[in-house]
Structure 1
Amino acid sequence: MDRVVRSENCTGCGLCALLDTGLDMTLDPAGFSRPARIGPSTADDDAARRFRAACPGIRVDAQRPAGARRHATLGPILQVWQAWATDPAVRFAGSSGGTLTALAAWLAETGEAAQVIGARAASDNPRRTVSVRIQSREEALASAGSRYAPTSSCAVGGAADADSAFIGKPCEVSALRALPSPKGSPPTEPPLLLSFFCAGTPSQNATDSLVEGLGVPRDEAVRDLWFRGHGWPGRFTVVRADGTTVDTSYENSWGTSLGPAVQWRCKICPDGVGESADVTAADLWRADDRGYPDFTPGPGVSALIARTIRGRDLVLRAAAAGILTVAPLDIDELAAVQPLQRTRRHTLAGRLVGTRLAGGRVPRFRGFALLRLAAPRLRETFRTLRGTYRRRRALRLHS
């Protein structure tokens, strides 16, 4: 675990704290969630084996579930829809179409899941984001909307239980999908895994600086904070103690403050599209000819990708029950409006090689065909390699 953290390959997923209760996930000075020793280790050799098999700072494997075809940049595909929550209140609260919120509420209310692991603003300090157990519609609505901040949802007790449902970042979902059963125990199913397209985890410090830049001092208590939602695409909004609000656009909050502050491991991520999930949600942007988003406010629409038979069954049953409104979607339409995900995967080989040449360590990424994706783009890949080498080498020399 220490080697993963020292090499900056830690995603902050919390898997290590799930396997060793003597660990807790805390914010480090850079504002990222990292394991800290709070008590004697409860890990044994089997916990170490399970950690090595599943920690996304050590390895991530591309998925090939039964019946799915593989898209070069968006992972395994069984069926794809444009979708939104049928309930207008849920659709309004969500970051795009409210689909994951609707599924969380439905799974909790029907008892299909004993609990749904998710994330929401901390009740005592909404600047912070915490992982939570969702067991009602009200709790699902309270957790609606993206949180562009560190969380470690794998560390929640029961996160790996087969009767749970789990909504998390692709790295968290990858860890739970890959986690083997304890030695001597029969193989068990992972929880129902739901994820979303992810551009990386920004530092908590970036959120704090953004709030301060909007005129709210760091020592002032706030009533609420959301990054998106309350309409599409939503605005970064801070509700002060007196009920007044300050806000800024999604483009400004992510593009200027949060996006540039993502942790290093996210910059070498092979899977920002949640391909280890049963179902993955994504923004279905309206886009210009270059594929870049049009942020004109309107009703949110998600894309939903069923990656497994279990995931397809969930979406179809939710649609039949009136929880989701769905219509068929061509996967290439979604790929066309996700330029960041395409570019990251196409140039990742260059970033990995540049890191290694600069003396850094990288996780093992298997089955993503990164060299094949890079081959038609050698000039761009080499520029990425060279830039990564220079930046990583400079960091090592000054550390």
Structure 2
Amino acid sequence: MRPDLSERRNAVPREDECRVFNRVCPGKRVTAPPADQGTRHHEVFGRYVQVWEGWAVDPEVRRAGSSGGVLTAISSYLSMKKRAPARVVAMDSANPSRSVPIQIMSRAEALNAAGSRYAPVSVGAGPLDELSSITGKPCEVSAIRATRNDLPAGPVLLSFFCAGTPSQKATDELVGQLGHSIENLTSSKYRGDGWPGQFVVESSDGSSNAMSYEDSWGAVLGKQLQDRCKICVDGTGESADVAVGDYWASDQAGYPLFADADGRSVVIARTPRGLRLVEECVDAGILEVRPILLDDVAKIQPLQVKRRRSLPGRLLGRILVGRSVPRYPGYKLARTFFSNLGLNLRAVGGTVRRNVRAGTVNRSR
């Protein structure tokens, strides 16, 4: 079939497409967000304006969300206030084991989409300007921010603390472990309906089974992460206007506890725009918050702390065995390497050994 020549004339030249791709794709490059006026910087969590412990005032929203229902509450509020859809991720109704981006315009739609989706999905495709907000993984929000050249206008960017994206195969494996088949599935939920919530599946015969968050993530999902996630520079949504994470209770050693409780979130305003939004939501009775310190958040987010501090060593280990790595300008990784020297030297050695065992060393070098 002959191509449409008018489309070819209007298309972006291939070399320009490649330059844009290399600039915005988080698999190739993630640039540290600029230090806007009024922002501060934390060695693990990056730029911020203010940080709180918070939750949705609406008890139904708080329970439905993965932690305190904060992102669900904000997305719903913005979509109704601006009379423009908010883009979030939800279960694919046609294929319930999978996740898809959808647009919500009401509290009911927000509640139906509430809860984390630990599976591959993209929220950045398609037109953005008509949206009130976008909720996405840190890498997705970074890419969206880069495509817009960090413009302060447009949809509000919301993100969350991310430990990596499991493969779709991991979800399918969990479904099978609970005695269900993908073909007969009618519903799947990773979290929500309590904090932290459970992995719950239902089938067309009316049967339903569940697995704890600690078991579903710790034993299956968290062990099948996409490779890029293992060398991520930003697990806490630094490019967002507002980023949210679990504000776990912890034991005496600082290890997070996963006992069921009312959800509590870390809420970080990362930009002046994000600060104004959180304050507006508090004034409108949407959120309840109280100020906290990021150093206290670090104590109950040990995985994020270790990943950030040991990242330079893991990157160097991959380089030594001939593997490519993304570029992370502005993140001052050399300083991180030497300020956590022992940790990073161990990370170099561990990364090299794992790659050698896996047979991924570039033999041509």
Pair in the same fold by TM > 0.5: yes
Counterpart position of 2:134:
166
1:183-198 superposed matches below 5 A = 189-198=153-162
Give the partner amino acid of 1:345.
R
1:250-265 superposed matches below 5 A = 250-265=213-228
RMSD after superposition: 2.0
8 Å contact from structure 1 (residues 203, 261) kept in 2: yes
1:336-355 superposed matches below 5 A = 336-355=299-318
Select which of 262, 272, 279 maps to 2:242.
Answer: 279
8 Å contact from structure 1 (residues 82, 301) kept in 2: yes
Counterpart position of 1:368:
331
8 Å contact from structure 1 (residues 233, 297) kept in 2: yes
Counterpart CA distance in 2 for 1:245 and 1:367 is 48
* Higher-strand-fraction structure: 1
Give the partner amino acid of 2:158.
L
Counterpart position of 2:147:
179
Q: Are residues 1:211 and 2:180 paired?
A: no
Q: CA deviation at 1:371?
A: 2.4
Counterpart CA distance in 2 for 1:255 and 1:145 is 18
- Aligned sequence identity (%): 48
Select which of 107, 113, 134 maps to 2:78.
Answer: 107
Cα 1:330–1:127 change in 2 (3 A) is same
Q: Deviations over 1:85-128 (max 9, x none)?
A: 1111101100000000001111111126x221110000012110
Counterpart position of 1:334:
297
Q: CA deviation at 1:270?
A: 0.5
Which range is displaced more, 166-175 or 388-397?
388-397
Q: Are residues 1:300 and 2:268 paired?
A: no
Give the partner amino acid of 1:94.
G
Q: CA deviation at 1:398?
A: 10
Counterpart position of 1:128:
98
Give the partner amino acid of 1:193.
L
SS of 2:259's equivalent in the other structure is: coil
Cα 1:397–1:371 change in 2 (3 A) is closer
Cα 1:122–1:162 change in 2 (3 A) is closer
Q: Deviations over 1:268-290 (max 9, x none)?
A: 00000100000000100001233
Counterpart position of 2:211:
248
Counterpart CA distance in 2 for 1:124 and 1:259 is 26
For structure 1, list consecutive stretches of 5 or more residues without a partner in the other structure. 1-38, 182-186
8 Å contact from structure 1 (residues 53, 180) kept in 2: no
Q: Are residues 1:232 and 2:203 paired?
A: no
8 Å contact from structure 2 (residues 85, 130) kept in 1: no
Counterpart CA distance in 1 for 2:59 and 2:347 is 43
Q: CA deviation at 1:345?
A: 0.8
Select which of 139, 147, 150 maps to 2:120.
Answer: 150
Counterpart CA distance in 2 for 1:166 and 1:215 is 35
Which range is displaced more, 71-80 or 162-171?
162-171
Select which of 333, 341, 350 maps to 1:378.
Answer: 341
Q: Are residues 1:52 and 2:52 paired?
A: no
Counterpart position of 1:201:
165
Give the partner amino acid of 2:171.
T
Counterpart CA distance in 2 for 1:261 and 1:291 is 26
TM-score, normalization by structure 2: 0.91
Counterpart CA distance in 1 for 2:214 and 2:260 is 12
Counterpart position of 1:14:
none
1:316-335 superposed matches below 5 A = 316-335=279-298
Select which of 335, 341, 358 maps to 2:321.
Answer: 358
Counterpart CA distance in 1 for 2:105 and 2:326 is 35
Counterpart CA distance in 1 for 2:25 and 2:155 is 17
Counterpart position of 1:31:
none
Counterpart position of 1:34:
none
Counterpart position of 2:58:
87
Aligned length: 352
Give the partner amino acid of 2:52.
W
Counterpart CA distance in 2 for 1:110 and 1:48 is 38
Give the partner amino acid of 2:75.
A
Counterpart position of 1:313:
276
Q: CA deviation at 1:75?
A: 0.8
TM-score, normalization by structure 1: 0.84
Counterpart position of 1:73:
44
For structure 2, list consecutive stretches of 5 or more residues without a partner in the other structure. 1-6
8 Å contact from structure 1 (residues 104, 140) kept in 2: yes
Q: CA deviation at 1:67?
A: 1.0
Give the partner amino acid of 2:350.
G
Counterpart CA distance in 2 for 1:49 and 1:223 is 43
Q: CA deviation at 1:250?
A: 0.3
Counterpart CA distance in 2 for 1:107 and 1:320 is 14
Q: CA deviation at 1:190?
A: 4.5
Q: CA deviation at 1:162?
A: 6.8
